[in-house]
Amino acid sequence: MQETLLIGIGNRFRSDDGIGGEIIDRLVKLDLSGVRAVEASGEGAGLIDLWAGYNDVYVFDAVASGAQAGHIFRIDTESDPVPTGFFNYSTHAFSLAEAIELSRNLKSLPPNLVVYGIEGCNFEHGLDISPVVLSAATEVVSLVSKELECTKLH
């Protein structure tokens, strides 16, 4: 198995939808060893190819579930399904949720695949991410960096 893979999903030109890339930028600045970080459009077949061969994968994306803006969802795919409705602002033909379930059915899902979703509130064209979503991103970066430290110890 390869090092840990971090995947930021989204479109930086659709306001809060760019939060996946923003989180990747912040995690890269931490210069974590044994970690590969990439941005992806979120197209399912591409995601399956990306995470093939990795033991630990973390995915970051904006969520549209109807929860309060800035709410953080942490989904451990080993035990929890990813709700398809979360990603309804996506233009992906084959979504993250579908990619996870297909990988699960094909027995090719990474042993540790965690999805962090942050509830967005503005998905209009633009570069500005809402302050409440940026604040949640700070918390996600802190949580993930701690998780990665713990993973390295075991």
Nearest CA-CA partner of 44 in 59, 22, 25: 59
Average pLDDT in the 118-144 region?
A: 95
For helices 131-153 and 19-29, give the axis angle rounded to 10 degrees.
50
What domains are defined for the chain?
4-153 (3.40.50.1450)
pLDDT of amino acid 152: 61
- Which residues have CB under 8 Å from 139's CB, separation 6+? 72
Does the structure show a pLDDT above 80 at 131?
A: yes
CA-angle at 37, arms to 25 and 134, nearest 5°: 30
pLDDT of amino acid 15: 92
Q: Put the strands of the sheet holding 56-63 in their side by side order.
A: 35-40, 4-9, 56-63, 112-119, 72-76
Q: Encode pLDDT of 6-52 as tens digits.
A: 999 999 999 999 999 999 999 999 988 889 999 998 888 899 999 99
**Length of the chain, please?**
154
pLDDT of amino acid 78: 86
Does the structure show a pLDDT above 90 at 154?
A: no
Q: Encode pLDDT of 63-117 as tens digits.
A: 988 899 999 999 999 887 777 766 654 454 678 888 999 999 999 999 999 999 9
CA 49/CA 15 separation, integer angstroms = 27
Does the structure show a pLDDT above 50 at 53?
A: yes
pLDDT of amino acid 19: 96
